[in-house]
Amino acid sequence: MRRIAVLTSGGDAPGMNAAIRGVVRCANNQDMEVYGIERGYDGLIKGDIRRMDSRSVSDIIQRGGTILKTARCPEFNTPEGIRKGYEVLRAYGIEGLIVIGGDGSFRGMRDLCTNHKMACVGIPGTIDNDLAYTDFTLGFDTAVNTVLDAINKIRDTMTSHDRACIIEVMGRHCGDIAVYSGLAGGAESIVVPEIPFDIDAICDKMRRNIIKGKASDIIVLAEGVCDCNTLKNMIQEKVDITIRTVKLGYIQRGGTPSMADRVLAARCADRAVNLLKNDIGGRVVGVREGAVIDDDITEALDMERKVNDELYRIASLLSL
């Protein structure tokens, strides 16, 4: 394979730029040309494509977001949209495509592979860590460290006022941001979509802590469970306490990528380029048990993500 393209799709994540840089430089090392596609599948369909070289990815490794931008593209959910995208790639003589994105982006990519025999490889880029086939996704480590910094700041003020606080973090279906940041931040309770939460257990713990003289509990809540004000009202009905809420929102998506996300980006880019070099498509790369792996995309999308029971259990222990 001599000419490949790369795009970012879905929600942006820290480390996407490091991955783009990795793709371009690894491909150049293998004597392959790289084209960058702007705004994901939308730019693909519209032909927003430009040649990239080693220079065009200088000074981006440390930057949040994605220089290729990203956008939603409902049209790519249709066979017609996919066909248009395929034809654009053909028109440029592009033989392989690397997609950096999450679950939804990979589904589009799978259809492009299946319907049109285009060699595609996916790199997992999403802060949610909600892909079952890989232990970690690009942006997750950075996002959790951002949340952790917020928990530190919020704890300062909550401890000073003896106030409890619910911190709502990202994660619609996957509670990993909540579990990792809650464990690392010493949260008193963690509420995630995968595990039914026991409002009485949360309230009991708060009452016990109030009796011990500590009213500044921190509860980390994944957005997929409910809104922070809903949970607040549920607790306030049962415990006589005023609770503050913070919804962290978009600060979780941005920022300079952490070391772990940059290293993961480089490793995934290296593997993705090598697959295409060997004319292998229909794969998604990731990391499992510390090693870079690649899986068949259809199988990968069928796997079921499980919550990290070990961390959830330890977090419960440590907050007693």
Give catalytic residues, as residue numbers.
128
Binding part of the chain for a copy of itself, among 64-72, 86-94, 275-283, 297-305 by CB under 8 A, reads: 64-72
Show the DSSP H helices in 47-185 as ranges.
79-91, 103-116, 140-161, 176-185
Shortest gap between Cβ of 304 and a copy of itself (angstroms)? 18
The answer to whether the CB of 23 falls within 8 A of the CB of 98 is: yes
Report the site for a copy of itself in 8-27 (rule: CB under 8 A): 8, 11-12, 14, 16, 18, 21-22, 25-26
Contact (CB, 8 A) for 142 and 194: no
Asked if 28 contacts 153 with a C-beta cutoff of 8 angstroms, the reply is no
203 is in an annotated binding site: no
| 189 phi and psi angles, rounded to 5 deg | -140, 150
Q: Does 229 bind a copy of itself (CB under 8 A)?
A: no
d(CA 18, CA 120): 19
If binding is defined by CB under 8 A, does position 111 make contact with a copy of itself?
A: no
- Report whether 34 belongs to an annotated binding site: no
Binding segment for a copy of itself (CB under 8 A), chosen from 5-13, 97-105, 110-118, 296-304, is 5-13
Q: For residue 105, say whether it is annotated as part of any ligand binding site.
A: yes
Residue 33: enclosing H or E segment and its boundaries?
strand 33-37
Binding span for a copy of itself by CB under 8 A among 79-87, 99-107, 109-117, 140-148: 140-148
Q: Where are the alpha helices (DSSP H) in 278-308?
A: 297-302
Per CB under 8 A, contacts with a copy of itself among 68-87 are: 69-71
Interface with a copy of itself (CB under 8 A), residue from 48, 75, 227, 270 = 270
5 part of the interface to a copy of itself, by CB under 8 A: no
State how far Cα 68 lies from the chain centre.
17
| Residue 20 CB-half CA count within 13 A | 35
Contact with a copy of itself (CB under 8 A): which of 227, 239, 256, 293? 256
- Binding of residue 231 to a copy of itself (CB under 8 A): no
Query: Coil, strand or helix: which one is 252?
Result: helix
Whose tokens are 């393209």? That residue is 5
Q: Determine, following the binding rule CB under 8 A, whether residue 251 of this chain makes contact with a copy of itself.
A: yes
Hey, which residues does 197 pair with through a beta bridge?
Answer: none
Is residue 159 involved in binding a copy of itself (CB under 8 A)?
A: yes
Q: Write down the least CB distance from residue 96 to a copy of itself, Å.
A: 18
Among 145, 175, 188, 221, binds a copy of itself (CB under 8 A): 145
Question: In terms of DSSP H, where are the helices of 131-258?
Answer: 140-161, 176-185, 199-211, 228-238
Binding positions are: 11, 21-25, 72-73, 102-105, 126-128, 155, 163, 170-172, 186-188, 212, 214-216, 223, 244, 250-253
